[in-house]
Amino acid sequence: MKNCLIALAAIMSLLAVLPGCYYDVEEELYPNTGCDTLDVGYATTIAPIIEDNCLNCHSAAANFGNVTLEGHNNLKTYADNGQLLGVIRHESGFPAMPQGAPQLVDCTIEKIEKWVNDGAPDN
C-alpha cells in the first residue's frame, strides 16, 4: 500500500510537469506567433496606424510641435531621421508618443520598425 502511494505521487508530479515542457517547446518553434510583419506596406499597414494614433495631433492641419505625419512624404522624413522609431519606442532623448496615450502595442511597433528598416517605401 505504501509503495502504491509513492508510485501515485510520482505519476502525479510527472503529469504536473508535462504541460510545462509542451509550452516551452512550442514557444521555441514559433517565437513570433500573432505578429505578422511579412506584408507590411505603407498604404495597407502604416498609414492606418498613423491615422488612428497620431493624426489627431500630427495632421497637416493640427501640426502639433510643428510635426506633420500626414502623407507618405511627410512620414518618411521622420522615418529617415530616426525620430519616428525613437518616439514610439520611448527611447531617451525623444518625447514619448503617442503623447498622453499608452505606448503602441509591441506588434504595431514591430510593423513600423519593419517598414522603416525597409527604407520607408511608398508601397
One of 95, 119, 121, 122 touching ligand HEC (CB under 6 A)? 95
Is residue 47 a contact point for ligand HEC (CB under 6 A)?
Answer: no
One of 46, 79, 87, 120 touching ligand HEC (CB under 6 A)? 87
One of 37, 47, 56, 72 touching ligand HEC (CB under 6 A)? 56
Is residue 109 a contact point for ligand HEC (CB under 6 A)?
Answer: no
32, 36, 74, 118 from 59: Cα distances, Å: 32, 27, 10, 24
- Cα angle for residues 100, 106, 108 (degrees, 5° grid): 80
24, 50, 68, 83, 115 from 57: Cα distances, Å: 43, 11, 8, 16, 22
Q: How far is the CB of 60 from ligand HEC (least distance, A)?
A: 14
Report yes or no: 60 and 54 within 8 Å, Cβ to Cβ: no
Residues that bind ligand HEC (CB under 6 A): 53-54, 56-58, 64-65, 67, 69, 78, 83-84, 87-88, 94-95, 97-100, 104
